[in-house]
Amino acid sequence: MTVRTRFAPSPTGFLHIGGARTALFSWAYARRHGGKFILRIEDTDVARSTPQAVQAILDGMAWLKLQADEGPFYQMQRMERYRAVIGQMLQAGTAYYCYTSKEALEQLRAAQEERKEKPRYDGAWRPEPGKVLPPPPVGVEPVVRFKNPLSGEVAWQDQVKGRIAIDNSELDDFIIARADGTPTYNFCVVVDDWDMGITHVIRGDDHVNNTPRQINLLQALGAPLPLYAHLSMILGDDGQKLSKRHGAVSVMQYDEEGYLPEAVLNYLGRLGWSHGDDEIFSMEQFVAWFDLDHITASAAQFNTEKLNWLNAHYIKQADGARLLAETVRRLGMQGIVTQPTAELAQAVELYRDRAGNLNELATALRPFVVEPTIADELRAQHLTPVALQALQALRAALQDCAWDAAELGQAIKRTAAAQGLKMPQLAIPLRVALLGAPQSPSIDKLLQAMGREQVLARLQRLS
């Protein structure tokens, strides 16, 4: 049996971190078993679905390089198929028309809640042998309800949570088609998973409660049952539930914030899944190791600090040309138009080990591209008359110094000694003069990367 998994987001917003992890796990499982990963857009909620959201999801998947083998399929394009199946069910008696109005339903629910009961449909229009149904009211378009079994239990072996069983008495006859004829979520999922031959349903555990309904439907249809794996949710950094107005952000925002996709992927792969003590792994390794047995059953709190650590790691590892391109692009976003020069490439190498993210890297590299402004405070503190005099002496010494880190280091040392200064007394003002900041990588390498022309010009401008 070929493994077939799917990711089935509804396009009502961006692809957020929880969705991304679900997609990653589904993708990896299919890859691991030489199967197929299918992307399906669940857009039957016409009022809330937007083409922008579809695009946002596609963009997020592309950024993470989670390639679908089939799809994207759109449920709105499968209406005919859904209608046909509903027709069959009506015919077979596994579904029926219900004329209870929305308003009546709301009253029913309110009354049940009043009595501290579980709100559910009362089965008024459910046909039973010997039962006399009321005459259909005129002018009311009926909904179609699934005739759920009344007794017994529906159970499955969840691949992450173990056996889960729910009594059919807890379930009611849910609506599979609205009054306007459009099918609803639980029904579409079932038909799609069946038609698309899905073998493993890997999804968020907010769907655990839908599973028994879907299994009953599948059985009514005579369809094979897939295996289910329900992933627990991801909580925000503060332990609170992620929601649109609290902490939930698009995966694309991680790009904007300077994260490398491989860092996000590695972080997500390790969040709620483990492979012994392994923390850092490539997608190749992840695919080779990934299994359902080591998925955590409980909710996991997102930890930005750890993501940052991974991001820093991947920045250290990244290809230099790629980092240079990212730096240029991000400087552009900061309003600084520049080119990927050899000097900038050198500077990238000098700074990559100290950057937590790509935006920090770009920001640190700004002084290599545009003249920094030196804050008055720093100027007063570091560019004292003594320091300025030493810097001019250094400028003279640098005039015809070979432009190489070792030589430059010697020149700085000699100048400091000649001026009766300790190294930091010259090096710190020099940093301030060149970068507008008192900290930097080693000063000799800094000079080398910045280039003779720029260094001398900046020193000259001080006087």
Site for RNA in 95-124 (CB under 7 A): 100-102, 105, 109, 113, 116-121
Per-residue mark of binding to RNA, 272-301 (x: CB under 7 A): x-x-xx-x-------------xx-xxxxxx
Residues 12-71 that bind RNA (CB under 7 A): 42, 44-45, 48
Stated as kind and residue range, the H or E segment containing 203 is: strand 200-204
Q: Is 229 exposed, middle or buried (0-12, 13-18, 19+ CB in 10 A)?
A: buried
In terms of Cα–Cα distance, which of 103, 105, 15 is closest to 59?
15
Smaller CB separation from RNA, 110 or 333: 110
Residues 422-441 that bind RNA (CB under 7 A): 423-424, 427-428, 431, 438-441
Residue 161 in contact with RNA, rule: CB under 7 A: yes
Residues 209-238 that bind RNA (CB under 7 A): 209-210, 232-233, 235
Q: How far is the CB of 171 from RNA (least distance, A)?
A: 9
Of the residues 3, 58, 164, 336, which one makes contact with RNA according to CB under 7 A: 164
Helix spans in 376-419 (H)? 376-382, 385-399, 405-418
Of the residues 23, 68, 175, 328, which one makes contact with RNA according to CB under 7 A: 175
Amino acid at 193: D
Residues 370-409 that bind RNA (CB under 7 A): 409
Residues 443-462 that bind RNA (CB under 7 A): 443-444
Smaller CB separation from RNA, 191 or 271: 271
Query: How far lies 371's CA from each of 366, 454, 458, in Å?
Result: 8, 9, 8
In terms of Cα–Cα distance, which of 422, 419, 438, 424 is closest to 380?
438
Q: Which stretch binds RNA (CB under 7 A): 62-70, 86-94, 265-273, 320-328?
A: 265-273
Helix spans in 131-275 (H)? 185-195, 211-221, 251-256, 261-270
Of the residues 80, 114, 284, 305, which one makes contact with RNA according to CB under 7 A: 305
Of the residues 97, 289, 309, 314, which one makes contact with RNA according to CB under 7 A: 309
Smaller CB separation from RNA, 164 or 345: 164
Q: Which pair of structure tokens corresponds to residue 289?
A: 């190791």
Smaller CB separation from RNA, 281 or 340: 281
Backbone angles phi, psi at 300, to 5 degrees: -120, 140
Of the residues 34, 135, 162, 385, which one makes contact with RNA according to CB under 7 A: 162
3 state SS of 163? strand
118 catalytic? Reply is: no
Residue 126 in contact with RNA, rule: CB under 7 A: no
CA distance 191 to 68: 20
Smaller CB separation from RNA, 65 or 241: 241
Residue 205 in contact with RNA, rule: CB under 7 A: yes
Smaller CB separation from RNA, 225 or 340: 225
Q: How far is the CB of 35 from RNA (least distance, A)?
A: 22
Instruction: Give the DSSP per-residue string, 3-69.
Output: -EEEE---SSS--BHHHHHHHHHHHHHHHHTT-EEEEEE----TTT--HHHHHHHHHHHHHTT---S
CA distance 367 to 344: 10
In terms of Cα–Cα distance, which of 433, 448, 435, 431 is closest to 343?
448
Smaller CB separation from RNA, 129 or 377: 377
CA distance 140 to 224: 36
Q: How far is the CB of 163 from RNA (least distance, A)?
A: 7
Smaller CB separation from RNA, 105 or 221: 105
Of the residues 306, 320, 375, 402, which one makes contact with RNA according to CB under 7 A: 306
Residue 159 in contact with RNA, rule: CB under 7 A: no
Half-sphere exposure of 420 (CA within 13 A, CB side): 2
Burial 321-357 (b: 16+ CB within 10 A, else e): eebbebbbebbeeeeeeeeeeebbbbbbebbbeebbb
Residue 208 in contact with RNA, rule: CB under 7 A: yes
Smaller CB separation from RNA, 279 or 343: 279
CA distance 30 to 287: 9
Q: How far is the CB of 238 from RNA (least distance, A)?
A: 10
Number of helical H runs and strand E runs in the chain = 19, 12
Q: How far is the CB of 107 from RNA (least distance, A)?
A: 12
CA distance 76 to 63: 26
Residue 250 in contact with RNA, rule: CB under 7 A: no
User: Which residue in the list 118, 241, 244, 422 is annotated as catalytic?
Assistant: 244
Residues 60-99 that bind RNA (CB under 7 A): none
Residue 334 in contact with RNA, rule: CB under 7 A: no
Q: How far is the CB of 37 from RNA (least distance, A)?
A: 19
| Catalytic site positions | 244
